[in-house]
Amino acid sequence: MTFADVLQWCQNNQAAVRGVLRGRDISISHKDKELAPDLPSIGEIFHWEVDMPELKHYVSGSDFERMVTGKLTIDGFKSTLRGRE
């Protein structure tokens, strides 16, 4: 998964995400036209906070990669959350 993949996924899903890493964070939104020039390595991100109409939750890096690459649907991810119906 690349940051370009994340931007495309955000645009396709009307999503905004915030990647949290040591000492800072980065944001990518469906409204962005291009990526920021000073992005860290995508492997440095601990987790992602996803904000979209059907989901507002933090997601592990591995689950987010599965979502972006189409291996995990949003409904599939939501089914793993405790306390959700």
CA-based R_g, the chain, Å? 12
Look at residue 7 and tell me if it is in a domain. yes
Look at residue 58 and tell me if it is in a domain. yes
- Structure confidence by residue, pLDDT tens digits, 23-66: 999 999 999 999 999 999 999 999 999 999 989 999 999 999 99
* pTM of the shown model: 0.90
Look at residue 84 and tell me if it is in a domain. no
Cα–Cα distance, 17 to 27 (Å, whole number): 6
> Which domain, by its residues, includes 67?
3-78
Give the CA count within 13 Å in the CB-facing half-sphere of 79.
Answer: 5
Quick one: how far is CA 46 from the chain centroid?
11
Look at residue 61 and tell me if it is in a domain. yes
Look at residue 66 and tell me if it is in a domain. yes
User: What single-letter DSSP state applies at residue 38?
Assistant: T
Name residue 60's beta-bridge partners. Answer: 47
